[in-house]
Amino acid sequence: MKKILTVLLIGISVLTLANQITYGGQYYPGEFLLKGYDFFGEQGLDVNHILFSSGTENSIALISGSVDINVGSDSKTVALFNTMGDKALIIGVIQRGDRYSTIVKDPTITDWSQLKGKIVATRFGTGAEFVLRKYFDTRDDLKWEDFKWVNLNTEDMISTLAAGQIEAFTVWAPTGEIAASQGVGTIMRSYGDIALTPVQIHTTKEFAETHREEVIKFLMAHIKKSQMIKNNPELAARYAAQASKEMGIEVSEQAYKLIFERIDFSLEFDEQTLKAELTETAEFLKEQGKIKSIPEFYIDTSYLKEAMERIENE
């Protein structure tokens, strides 16, 4: 009897461990929805969902093994594969489109040329900095050195702008929308025409191969999240706003609804197109002196395909 009980306990313990994932998210709109509604739990997963302030911290966590799966913009993906090589793997995307914006304190400022010589902020080493550099590269009258830059944590941007210590900041959603909804600043410009590459979901080949079932269920949860956003943005906004409030971040349901209707949160992507976009990003970063070599990118779409098939057959 004792042997049977021991075997049962070991089996339960192994099953519990098998369904656990540590996930490195960021301050993205969809991540707050994941905090507000237990999509992971519905798939039988126990997910430790950590929100990182920047993609750099998130990448370090994946490289060190502190998280099993994470997300990151194209510039972070390039850096990740430059470090991990064929040990890293892209298994999906979580958002694309008009997700970066520049917020100004003075609503009469409508162009970057009016900010020359002024103190402005972004989070260095993130997709926001990369998007700005790409944007400045499209204009002959602007260069990075025209501005006095401050490296700010995402969570400090609104209060720093409100205090008048900076004139503008550039960041990813929903921080800009929060500032606008609180009356702290005005959205001067967004960068949907510049930030064309979607945010990717990364893991390691080892984790994916040894935890295939968990990875598929993880992606199913993200698909369910994207379906709620598409089919019922009002409900998705309600869950996201409530989660934000519980974390001490005030974002109105209306602000989230606008974001959910503007940004594409679908997980589907074309492998060859994504590789081409990432290579283009790597070439730009190399020209800027940010990296020394262009890495090879490894993508496995089989996990996402199976996740989509299971949901279609439900």
Q: How far apart (Å, rounded) are the C-alpha atoms in residues 25 and 225?
A: 14
Q: What HEC string does 35-59 produce?
A: HHCCHHHHCCCEEEEEEECCHHHHH
Terminal-residue alpha carbon distance, the chain: 39
Which string of DSSP letters, residue by residue, matches 201-212?
EEEEHHHHHH-H
Class of domain 2-96+197-312 (CATH, top level): alpha beta
Q: What is the pLDDT of residue 177?
A: 84
Q: What is the pLDDT of residue 288?
A: 83
Are 123 and 76 in contact, with CB atoms under 8 Å apart?
Answer: no
Do 2-96+197-312 and 100-190 share a fold? yes
Q: Could you tell me the pLDDT band of residue 6, with boundaries at 50, 70 and 90?
A: very low
By the 10 Å C-beta count (0-12 exposed, 13-18 middle, 19+ buried), 17 is classed as exposed
- For the cut 90, the answer to whether the pLDDT of residue 1 exceeds it is no
Higher pLDDT, 255 or 299: 299
pLDDT digits (tens, 9 = 90+) for 39-56: 999 999 999 999 998 888
- Global pTM value: 0.79
- For the cut 60, the answer to whether the pLDDT of residue 267 exceeds it is yes
Q: What is the pLDDT of residue 178?
A: 85
By the 10 Å C-beta count (0-12 exposed, 13-18 middle, 19+ buried), 262 is classed as middle
Higher pLDDT, 174 or 144: 144
Q: How far apart (Å, rounded) are the C-alpha atoms in residues 147 and 198?
A: 28
- For the cut 50, the answer to whether the pLDDT of residue 91 exceeds it is yes
Nearest Cα residue to 218 out of 90, 69, 61, 89: 69
Q: Which CATH architecture has domain 100-190?
A: 3-Layer(aba) Sandwich (3.40)
In the numeric block, which tokens belong to residue 7? 């075997």
In the numeric block, which tokens belong to residue 302? 């089989």
Are 78 and 281 in contact, with CB atoms under 8 Å apart?
Answer: yes
Q: What is the pLDDT of residue 196?
A: 74
In the numeric block, which tokens belong to residue 305? 């395909």
Instruction: Work out the average pLDDT over 129-155.
Output: 94
pLDDT digits (tens, 9 = 90+) for 244-258: 999 988 888 988 998
Higher pLDDT, 254 or 60: 60
- For the cut 70, the answer to whether the pLDDT of residue 161 exceeds it is yes
Nearest Cα residue to 106 out of 174, 46, 187, 45: 187
Beta strand pairing call for 168-172 and 119-122:
parallel
Q: What is the pLDDT of residue 223?
A: 98
Q: Could you tell me the pLDDT band of residue 18, with boundaries at 50, 70 and 90?
A: low
- For the cut 80, the answer to whether the pLDDT of residue 10 exceeds it is no
Mean pLDDT across the chain: 91
Domain boundaries, the chain: 2-96+197-312, 100-190
Q: What is the pLDDT of residue 14?
A: 39
- For the cut 50, the answer to whether the pLDDT of residue 131 exceeds it is yes
